Amino acid sequence: MNIYGKKIGLAILIALFPLVCAVFSFAESKGQEVPKKFLVPPPPFSPGIFPCSQCHKYMPVNKKQRKLEQMHQDITLKHMPGGWCFDCHNPDDRDKLRLANGKLISFDESYYLCAQCHGVVFRDWKAGLHGKRTGMWNGEKQYRLCVHCHWPHDPPFKPLQPLPPPARPADIK
């Protein structure tokens, strides 16, 4: 009886093994796939330019790498030598960005696009170290998108005019 009980228990375990595995792998994939949403303000579009589909819907897609002459002439790409529009923008649905693996993301999640190359910075940004935070130190924090400080077509932070220096002791009356 005792031996039978053990055998039945073993049999049940073996029978259930694939199911247990499936549950675990499901949990794992779920943990990877659900990204943490960061609280960010809307992306800094030039006024009236979004949604891109308002013009691009009526235009044929030209996937030839070329210099733009009718629109967007102000954009000269000084980022990623040899790169061009469709490395990041999605040719078929212009209101989305496209990751290298083909996954489409919206403009307010553009940090995933930047993270493809700038992984170390992305890690610091997620931890709250890279970039500006406002809000509560012990509560809800307002993040900023990468593109709020780094214009993606020419990313280095632009110089600023400093505010006035302090008064010198000699200038105090």
Partner 1 sequence: MSKIRSNPLGVKLDRRTFLKGAALGLAGTALPLNKADASFWEAFFQKHFREMNDDEKKKVIQRLEKEYEQKYKKAIHIGSEKPMPGVLFGYGLDLSRCIGCRRCVYACVEENNQSIDPQVQWITVLRFKKGEKWIDLEESEKYYNPEQVPESGHFYMPVQCQQCENPPCVRACPTQATWKEPDGIVVVDYNWCIGCRYCMAACPYGARRFNWGEPKRPAEKINPNTHYLGNRPRYKGVVEKCTFCVQRTRNGRYPACVEICPVGARKFGNLLDPQSEIRYAIEHKRVFRLKEDLNTNPKFYYFFAYGR
Q: Give contact residues for partner 1 (rule: CB under 8 A).
A: 120, 124, 127-139, 144, 149, 157, 159-168, 172
CB of 43 vs partner 1, minimal distance in Å: 18
CB of 159 vs partner 1, minimal distance in Å: 4
User: What is the DSSP track for 22-89?
Assistant: HHHHHHHHHHHHSPPPP--PPP-PPTT--STHHHHTTS----S-----SS-TT----SSTT--GGGTB
CB of 120 vs partner 1, minimal distance in Å: 7
CA distance 98 to 81: 19
CB of 23 vs partner 1, minimal distance in Å: 29
**Cα dist from 42 to 38, 109, 115, 168, whole Å:** 12, 10, 19, 43
Closer residue to partner 1 (CB): 105 or 115: 115
Closer residue to partner 1 (CB): 96 or 130: 130
Closer residue to partner 1 (CB): 71 or 120: 120
CA distance 142 to 39: 6
Q: What are phi and psi of 114, to 5 degrees?
A: -65, -35
Closer residue to partner 1 (CB): 3 or 170: 170
**Cα dist from 138 to 45, 121, 126, whole Å:** 31, 23, 16
CB of 8 vs partner 1, minimal distance in Å: 47
Closer residue to partner 1 (CB): 33 or 140: 140
CA distance 65 to 128: 37
